[in-house]
Amino acid sequence: MADTADSDTNTHTETPDTDGHSDAYYFELFWQTMRTLRGPYGCPWDREQTSDSIKGNLVEEAYECYDSISRGDSDAFREEIGDVFLVALLMVCIEEDSGSFTLGDVLRQANEKLVRRHPHVFGDAVIDDTAAAVRRQWDDIKANLEGRERNESVLDGVPDATPPLERAARLQKKAAKAGFDWPDIAGAREKLDEELSEFDAALSSDDSASDDSASIEREIGDLLFSVVNLARKSGVDAGYALHSANRRFSDRFKHMEKRMRERGEALSSENLDTMEELWQEAKRSS
């Protein structure tokens, strides 16, 4: 980072980047590039976008950034976090053009929030020097000073629009924080067995086709929810675990495709035995 901290004063002094320019210079350059793209002589695609039309891009770029961190790829991380900035700043530019708010509004509000929620750094508050104490103070400020979590339910702070797998994990964490949780992983594992049994019962049901389909869908949902819970109790991020499984599947399937082409054979159910053999080959090599 080109910013360096002064440990005595808790202030930061900006130092030049490797080419002599400051962080502020590059931020302003990036912002002006964005303004140009959205301007009358800029890019037609950028001018047509709305925050709603690119909201999916923000999620996609965040996941790509997440993946680069998990892979320990610092070069990719630098690029992907830049893409996150790109989409976020494009959204701000769009809202500024519409008169909704400005870049200054966003940065001022974010900065005020940081200062307000860190009174032990920027004020006179004294707390234990632990992350847990900071977390409790943060939650207390949100609830009592900002009124952010005065909800009817402890679960109300988890948005419906959160991707389902992540939302399941967040709901479970909220419930666990309120004391509603298995005492250990064994309870979560038994719950998974219970849901599997209920799924088997739904499959063998003699109900009408429409009722049977709804029942199976419900039981699969409960099964997935239980798997996420088991991951949480194991200290595993269920979303990234599935992401990694998707990547392994993709790599192995591509290996199988390549080997089938080399053999001059088609991907088809008639060649399932050969495909399974090559699948196992891919597993051994990964």
Res 7: pLDDT: 43
Strands 3-6 and 11-14, sheet pairing: antiparallel
Q: pTM higher than 0.85 for the full model?
A: no
Res 212: pLDDT: 75
Res 141: pLDDT: 81
pLDDT tens-digit profile, the chain (286 residues): 445 444 444 555 555 566 788 999 999 999 999 999 999 999 999 999 999 999 999 989 998 998 899 889 999 999 999 999 999 999 999 999 999 999 999 999 999 999 998 988 898 888 888 888 888 887 788 777 776 655 678 788 788 888 899 999 999 999 998 899 999 999 999 999 999 999 999 988 766 555 678 899 999 999 999 999 999 999 999 988 998 899 899 999 999 999 999 999 999 999 999 999 999 999 998 7
Res 156: pLDDT: 82
Pick the CATH number of 3-110 from 1.10.287.110, 1.10.3370.10, 3.30.530.20, 1.10.287.1080: 1.10.287.1080
Q: Whole-angstrom Cα distance, residue 239 to residue 237?
A: 6
Res 151: pLDDT: 61
Res 5: pLDDT: 47
Give bridge partners of residue 13 from the DSSP assignment: 4
Q: What are the CB-based long-range contacts (under 8 Å, 24+) for 63-67?
A: 63/243, 66/240, 67/243
If one counts every other C-beta atom within 10 angstroms of the C-beta of residue 25, the result is 15
Contacts of 185 (CB under 8 A, 6+ apart): 230, 233, 234
Backbone torsions φ then ψ of 14, nearest 5 degrees: -90, 130
Contacts of 97 (CB under 8 A, 6+ apart): 38
Mapped onto helix, strand or coil, the DSSP state of residue 85 is: helix
Domains in the chain: boundaries: 3-110, 117-150, 182-236, 240-285
